[in-house]
Amino acid sequence: MKALSFLTRVWPRLAGATGLVPGLAVGLALAFSAAGHTQALDRITASDAARERLSEAFDALEAAGFTGIVGISQGGETVLMRGAGMADAQTGRPYGPDTQVDIGSVTKSYTGMLAAQLISDGTLSADLRLDEVFDNVPADKAGITLHQMLTHAAGFPGGVGDDLAEEDFDTFLANAFAAPLRFEPGTDYYYSNVGYSLAAAIMERATGQSYEALLRDRLMSVGIDHTGYHTAFDGERAVHLEDGRDVAEASWGGHPPNWNLIGNGGLVSTAPDMLAWRQAWSAGELISPQARDLGQTPFQDEGGGASHYGYGLVVEDDPAFGRVYWHNGGNPHFNAHWRELADHGLILFVAADQRRLNADRVVDVLTAAWFDQPWRIDPRPARSATPVTLPDTPAGQLVADFMATLKGDAAAHQAFIETRFTPDMLAYADMDRHLAMFDQLAADFGGGALLGFNETATQVRFSVFAATMGESIPITFDIAGDDALRVAGLQIG
């Protein structure tokens, strides 16, 4: 599962995390099933009552602090298109249908779509090996196939470089080839940005076009023209941070995206484009029906059998909803989520610029509202006047050390990373990237009050007041070890 976190692109996600945080938003299939919905829900048409339920839910989300854009369609007809908050606070421009947003790892859905078409028409083979495309491929990676990269079965780590750096393709390729594999290719699943960037590079070599040109040519053939990288980017449409930085500055580093992003993250789009894209893809109009079916095949078990990964999308068969396709993504500033409930002809897209009511949670609430199911949104939490006291346990000490480290310097950050991360966590990225993300943690949470704490044998969950966001944010550590616990995974939100 691709649980949203501002660390999504660097540190491991916690297994099974779905973005459903108790007390914030309830509504997705897991909540329905737990409530006894083991039978398929009836198909809902876009009636006045359904539209009214969506509007009421959106009003509640906006009142609770959601900022972003929502688009929902059924059978090609838009049933909700609304924005909340400012896309650019400095100019007073609100979120709306024209707002260009960073869709993060939803980019992989576009890459998977293109790959499925190129495989289906014979331009590429799913069995194409890395050593058939690139020179000097290390022996452990030579036999990795395009199919394995598209289904996160290649064994590559999550990332090998900085999204914001000015790096060329040769640097990215060298880093990818030097990175240790997490397992023998084809034997397991591990979500990786690296494999998708390599897939994009393979498509460039096969077609003679840049990834962006290949994508935009395909999209513009059906009238979708505000989606892409720098050739599609429009600073006057784009969302801006409160400090004035736009997507190009905040997500790409102020220059065209590098290969740590190309093909796996960082595309910009609009809500109408996203709905039109998924509708045309699903209908077999944007790519052939054969390519659509290939890409939407549930190839790779993500773990536990509940969800599978196709080419750039998650495939689930839910007892309440039936067949569901989806993907999400995020970075420190933005997050997005598209979802199609295929048996109901329903497509949802949400983009947000904050983490408490992020795109995952908004999709959950709106899905519940559409089906006239219960949902709840708690109001924005207030800062507690009485911070909690940590228990005298190994987990309590781990959190105490973490909170103290956030107030320290780079040397303190590195010491915590080296002594309190598991070996697998350490191996996930180089030290410079670990330190960069720890700097972000310190900026968000350093000096914040600890407002909640709970521990189990495998996890510790705590909440910290983030002054930069004016709200309490939950943090979850996956933990390993006995007396001296170490962090094996980390999720924010």
Contact partners, residue 101, CB within 8 Å, separation at least 6: 68, 69, 238, 239, 247, 268, 269, 270, 271, 334, 336, 351
pLDDT at 380: 66
- How far is 380 from 66, CA to CA, in rounded Å? 10
Residues 6+ apart with CB under 8 A from 334: 101, 102, 104, 239, 247, 250, 251, 351, 352, 353
Residues 327, 350: Cα–Cα separation, whole Å: 11
Torsion of CA 369, 58, 329, 12, to 10 degrees: -70
| pLDDT tens-digit map of 205-248 | 999 999 999 999 999 999 999 999 999 999 999 999 988 999 99
| pTM score | 0.81
- Provide mean pLDDT across the span 108-119: 98
pLDDT of residue 482: 76
Give 460's strand partners.
Answer: 455, 477
Is pLDDT of 57 > 90?
Answer: yes
Residue 170 CB contacts under 8 Å (≥ 6 apart), including other chains: none
Q: pLDDT tens across 160-198, in order?
A: 998 999 999 999 999 999 999 999 999 999 999 999 999
Distance CA 93, CA 239 (A): 9
H/E element holding 201?
A: helix 193-207
pLDDT-based confidence at residue 3 (cuts at 50, 70, 90)? very low
Residue 19: pLDDT over 60 = no
Q: How confident is the model at residue 379 (pLDDT cuts 50, 70, 90)?
A: low
Radius of gyration in angstroms for the set of CA atoms belonging to the chain, rounded to a whole number: 22
More confident residue, 399 or 39: 399
Alpha-carbon distance 416 to 438, whole Å?
Answer: 10
Confidence of residue 32 (pLDDT cuts 50, 70, 90): very low
Distance CA 204, CA 461 (A): 44
Structure confidence by residue, pLDDT tens digits, 290-324: 999 999 999 999 988 889 999 999 999 999 999 99
Select from 442, 466, 347 the least CA-distant residue to 71: 347
